[in-house]
Structure 1
Amino acid sequence: MFIDILQRDMPPVFVAYYCDPSNRQCDSCGHKKPGPPNRIHGDQMFDFTFGDITVTRIVEMEMPMLGATTFFPEWNDAAIEPHRDWLIPRHFDPASGNVVINIQAFLVRTPRHTILVDTCVGNHKPRNREMFDNALFPWMDNFLALGVAPEDIDYVLCTHMHVDHVGWNTKLEDGRWVPTFPNAKYIFARTELEFWKQQSEQDQMTRTGDYIVDSVVPILEAKQEVLVDMDHQLDDGLTLQPLPGHTPGMVGLNINSGGAEAILCGDMMHHMIQCHIPDWSTLACADMEAARVTRKAFLDRYADTDVTIVPSHFPNPTAGLIVPHGDTFGFRYIGE
């Protein structure tokens, strides 16, 4: 397996801001206020190279964000006690009771194409969750700092259509939501899009707001979407991998190049505790049992192999290997 890691020299700290929801032109509205503490530092900008394919993380935010006992209905003190040594403080903040979540996108560069996988929360968007509502994240500045422009993106792949994976699909321009990446084909699993179109029609977006309207529908109106099967081959060495459960049409991206293999596995698991306790699905899963089945099969398949696993929400450095741990599994970060 050949994996090169290049640490990028980025500014040391990025701060999220939140703007006055009454004014959509937030860059000049003068109503910005600092957001909650964000753990993003310069050492979180890495290139992972697999053969001739490079993956770069573009972090939007990392912080203790979700109440553990709410997000994981089965979370309890007795169950986590054996794991406290690695949980705290990197993965769990006992003071707030929140698990640490990283929201990020992945820039994938092949010899032929430039691909953006998942697009975080985005800016200026009305959301029910305060930290997402009308946010002003410096994500686009970080994207541009990599030497790419929105016009350079050939494909945008959304592993699934949750609020933190579709936000930068669109941007606000003259009061309208338009595609952020004007030359890109937006790759959606057909099964996933159909599911969320039905959900939107049934008004089941009360938890996070109807982000489909501002972050997916404008792509359809611009006719930039490409609907694919869940095992679609996107490019040489890039193939979608079905991972249903968290949502019905969720996919990962399998990277196979130059003798190295990696999987961007979306929200197949949100947190390292799910390696150790695979039975735990989250409140955000559309089908908790199907998510559990998919996760267990995935862990069984890739444990004790040299396949690099890249979950969407694991904290810095995100990527690692699934390792046996007693009668269950663990996760070892790359470089540790």
Structure 2
Amino acid sequence: MHPHPSPDRPAGSPASTTAAAHRTAGSAPAWAVGSTPVHRVDEIDFPPETGAWLLPDATPDVVARAPWLTPDFADDEGVLRASSHSFAFTVDGRRVLVDTGIGNGKQRAMPAWHQLDTDYLDRLTAAGYPPDSVDLVILTHLHADHVGWNTRLENGTWVPTFPHARYVTTRTEWDHWASVDMEESRRQMFRDSVHPVREAGLLDVVDIAEGPVVLAPGLRLLPTPGHTPGQVAVELRDSGDTALITGDAVHHPVQLAHPHLSSCADTDSALARSTRAALLASAAESRALLLGTHFAPPTAGRLAQDGTGYQLTPERPVLAQTY
């Protein structure tokens, strides 16, 4: 979700929102995809200003045209709700984490993400995925709110949080950021959350130029360019059921109702709209469980055509571990 190329924060987003955004209690919900539980591991709720900054054309009038967005995904005044979380599951004996949030103690331009101090790792462990047990970390793209827990601070040095895992990104994504003149805030993010993983020999770069990449039986990366050039969505299949983790091809359910709505953080808005349209059409046709990378609870659901867009019928978690 991190903006490109500007590091500007949402207007009116004070540093004090950070503490208020922390989740301090709750559950580790999971959805069944066939026989595979997919856990949502929460980090923070984004402050209310985020939606209007990220999706400036999603005005209250636009939100009101999709009444199903309220109350879960927007409040009565049309203010969008969004959050930072990861998804964890086990496939073919591999313990997988999709995206790693913002991270603790990171120097960030956005006040609500700066120097966080959350219990994310405790939540991950409570879901059954202690850091040492993770085998595969999928990075849908290399933005600050998707790579932060790649590393943690140990004796003043940023070290991989998941020392036994392979971290996967795409060659297109890697080559893009290696070739552009990044602003200092993004360089800082690479220094503390990406380069230490590469220097530890844990980063794998996969080629998606020819289409989807199979990482394990039932687990594929689907090219979804536009938000960033090498972004992917994650497809999980088990026992005839399919789940689709969106990455930032869809930031918020309002983009299901209005797929033309663009994010201020997209590198190529036209391509992002085209990608989103194809992804949603496929998800609706297959009746896949859509798991939104930034969707507020209930986070998951199935799509049905609704005019020129789609309506999400939420699917409540089947499991919830209290922490």
Please give the TM-score of this superposition, normalised by the length of structure 2.
0.85
Relative to structure 1, the CA distance from residue 42 to residue 70 in structure 2 (aligned partners, 3 Å threshold; closer, same or farther) is closer
Report the alpha carbon displacement of residue 258 of structure 1 after superposing the two structures with TM.
0.8
Alignment-derived partner of residue 187 in structure 1: 168
* Cα distance in structure 2, aligned partners of 1:105 and 1:332: 21
Alignment pair present for 1:172 and 2:153:
yes
Alignment-derived partner of residue 21 in structure 1: none
Report the alpha carbon displacement of residue 108 of structure 1 after superposing the two structures with TM.
1.6
Report the alpha carbon displacement of residue 73 of structure 1 after superposing the two structures with TM.
3.1
* Cα distance in structure 2, aligned partners of 1:34 and 1:298: 33
The one-letter code matched in structure 1 to 2:183 is Q
Counting only pairs closer than 5 Å after superposition, residues 67-82 of structure 1 correspond to structure 2 as: 67-82=50-65
Q: Tell me the SS of whatever aligns to 1:187.
A: strand
Aligned pair count reads 300
Relative to structure 1, the CA distance from residue 109 to residue 93 in structure 2 (aligned partners, 3 Å threshold; closer, same or farther) is same
Alignment-derived partner of residue 90 in structure 1: 72
Alignment pair present for 1:266 and 2:229:
no
Alignment-derived partner of residue 4 in structure 1: none
Report the alpha carbon displacement of residue 299 of structure 1 after superposing the two structures with TM.
1.7
* Cα distance in structure 1, aligned partners of 2:145 and 2:114: 12
Please give the TM-score of this superposition, normalised by the length of structure 1.
0.82
Alignment-derived partner of residue 7 in structure 1: none
Deviation >6 Å, runs of 4+: none
Flag structure 2 segments of 5+ consecutive residues without an equivalent: 1-15, 318-323
Q: Deviations over 1:259-307 (max 9, x none)?
A: 1111112111111110111111100111111100001111222225421
From the CA coordinates, give the structure whose radius of gyration is larger: 1
Two-structure CA RMSD over aligned residues (Å): 2.4
* Cα distance in structure 2, aligned partners of 1:94 and 1:260: 34
Relative to structure 1, the CA distance from residue 176 to residue 38 in structure 2 (aligned partners, 3 Å threshold; closer, same or farther) is closer
Flag structure 1 segments of 5+ consecutive residues without an equivalent: 1-31
Report the alpha carbon displacement of residue 317 of structure 1 after superposing the two structures with TM.
2.1
Q: Deviations over 1:68-123 (max 9, x none)?
A: 4432232334433323x33444323467x752111101112124110111000000
Q: Deviations over 1:28-72 (max 9, x none)?
A: xxxx997024467524x2222223433111010124444444322
CA contact (8 A) 1:127 1:209 kept: no
* Alignment equivalent of 2:224, drawn from 220, 232, 243: 243
What percentage of aligned pairs have identical amino acids?
A: 33
Alignment-derived partner of residue 227 in structure 1: 205
Relative to structure 1, the CA distance from residue 248 to residue 92 in structure 2 (aligned partners, 3 Å threshold; closer, same or farther) is same
Q: Deviations over 1:121-173 (max 9, x none)?
A: 00011111112111101101111112332111111110111111100000101
Alignment pair present for 1:117 and 2:95:
no
Q: Tell me the SS of whatever aligns to 1:147.
A: coil
Alignment-derived partner of residue 204 in structure 1: 183
Relative to structure 1, the CA distance from residue 243 to residue 306 in structure 2 (aligned partners, 3 Å threshold; closer, same or farther) is same
Alignment-derived partner of residue 10 in structure 2: none
* Cα distance in structure 2, aligned partners of 1:104 and 1:34: 15
Counting only pairs closer than 5 Å after superposition, residues 1-336 of structure 1 correspond to structure 2 as: 35-38=19-22, 42-43=26-27, 45-83=28-66, 85-93=67-75, 98-199=79-180, 202-204=181-183, 206=185, 210-230=188-208, 231-335=212-316
Relative to structure 1, the CA distance from residue 128 to residue 98 in structure 2 (aligned partners, 3 Å threshold; closer, same or farther) is farther
